[in-house]
Amino acid sequence: MRIAALFALAGWLILVPFPGAAQGRTPARTAPDSTGESGPADTLTLDQALAEARAANARLPIARLALQQSLDRLRQARGSLWPGLSLGGDLHPGAPRTYESSDARLQVVAEAPLYEGGALRAAVGAERARTRAARADVRVAVKDVELAVRADYAEYLRAQREIDLQRLGVERLQRYLAEVRSRQASGQGVGADVVKTRAQLLHARADLDAAEHARTEMRMELNDVLGRDPDAPLALAPLSVPSSPSPDSVSAPWNLTPDVQSALASVGAAEAGLSGARSLRLPHLNLSVAGGGQAALVDPAPALMNDGRGWGVEAMLSLSLPLWSHGVYSGRVDEARDALTQSRRVVEATRRAARLEYDRSSALLRARYREIQVREQARESARDAYLQAESLYRGGSGSALDVLDAYRTWLTAGQAHEDAVLDYRLARARVLRWGGP
């Protein structure tokens, strides 16, 4: 009986893979499982996910519509520099004839600003700067979506790796529990080992359920970022192995971020706004030319001047020079000056925030890369210790407690390694977010 059990145990050792070997593999695609987590979906690469999010994310059209509105306002501001053409008329009935001639008029009127102190051109400059800011804001929205895609992609892969790790652990514990029960059936006093192993197995199954729920949440979140239905199936291609961070190709890359460019464009808009406010004290000269016909509804009474009948053309040159406004002009200028000061402070604050994010992410990226190298060695050592504890237990010189402790150490080491890889990828995503245009 014992000889047969030994042969069965030897066959089991040959067929069961090492936990570290399975832990080191990354599946080429997420296969369907009994939970229905993944369906028959094509494998999605990170580049494909980024392209899909740029095309279908629900937040990007909002920024693009804001840009379109800015372009519309710019077109309006430019149009105000050109003459305007309108059709106008009026009717003047009255009595008696000696007072009111009761006439009617219909004219085509052309109006053009000759000089407005630079207010119209300042308005064009302000809208042009706001359009630049809106373009930068679109790029900010795109980069934020790309950051969300990279982060959710890495989180989903981390959840999948946790499931693979927990499933492997459950499988190992199930086989180990079967071995311990076999010993108990043969008359060995290993009842306590059975209880401990069963408790550890139940704990591992609960961790597996939690990992599957975490993957479900990440699938729904990533699908939402991609513009898909949250319940749509999802299968992701693995990411490349973390590599050593490369040095910066340009100095101060955070200055190139669209966040900083948007703030700089807002400064241009504020400068144009100040010029427009100052133009309120300058003279405004407008030319109006009207051509049309005017007819009397009744025979007018004799008048000393022209009674205004027939067809003709008239021109009017109007001049406006503000003299006193009881604080209106000074208030507008001060408001525009304060807005300019504020926009410059926003540039400085935005630049500092971008630099902080970039420097912090770069430092974390380098630290996590070094940590990954150490965690990899720790994972391999924990795997060897686990296999040794199992071997000693089968040889009779070890205890079940040693095996379970080694199992927990191996599992913790694997999780710590995967967490370091995840942190590396999240840091890299933030470096890309804050390290360029």
Domain spans in the chain, listed from the N-terminal domain onward:
2-82+116-283+321-434
Q: 10-19, 366-375, 388-397: which range is least confident on average?
A: 10-19
Per residue in 178-222, pLDDT (tens digit) is: 888 888 888 888 888 889 889 999 999 999 999 999 999 999 999
Residue 343 above 50 pLDDT?
A: yes
pLDDT band for 253, please (50, 70, 90 cuts): very high
- pLDDT on residue 182: 86
Residue 299 above 70 pLDDT?
A: no
Higher-confidence position of 7 and 368: 368
Q: What percent of the chain has pLDDT over 90?
A: 59
Per residue in 53-94, pLDDT (tens digit) is: 999 999 999 999 999 999 999 999 999 999 999 998 888 776
- pLDDT on residue 307: 55
Q: Which fold has domain 2-82+116-283+321-434?
A: Outer membrane efflux proteins (OEP) (1.20.1600)
Q: What percent of the chain has pLDDT over 70?
A: 85
pLDDT band for 259, please (50, 70, 90 cuts): very high
- Quick one: average pLDDT of 157-180? 92
- pLDDT on residue 176: 85
pLDDT mean across residues, the chain = 86
- Quick one: average pLDDT of 103-125? 89
- pLDDT on residue 151: 98
- pLDDT on residue 10: 41
- pLDDT on residue 393: 81
- Quick one: average pLDDT of 238-245? 94
The 3-class SS string of the chain reads: CHHHHHHHHHHHHHHCCCHHHHHCCCCCCCCCCCCCCCCCCCEECHHHHHHHHHHHCCCHHHHHHHHHHHHHHHHHHHHCCCCEEEEEEEEECCCCCCCCCCEEEEEEEEEEEEECCCHHHHHHHHHHHHHHHHHHHHHHHHHHHHHHHHHHHHHHHHHHHHHHHHHHHHHHHHHHHHHHHHHHHCCCCCHHHHHHHHHHHHHHHHHHHHHHHHHHHHHHHHHHHCCCCCCCCCEECCCCCCCCCCCCCCCCHHHHCHHHHHHHHHHHHHHHHHHHHHHHHCCEEEEEEEEEEEEECCCCCCCCCCCCCEEEEEEEEEEECCCCCCCHHHHHHHHHHHHHHHHHHHHHHHHHHHHHHHHHHHHHHHHHHHHHHHHHHHHHHHHHHHHHHHHHHHHCCCCHHHHHHHHHHHHHHHHHHHHHHHHHHHHHHHHHHHCCC
Q: 44-48, 125-129, 163-167, 286-290: which range is least confident on average?
A: 286-290
Q: 211-215, 225-229, 234-238, 307-311: which range is least confident on average?
A: 307-311
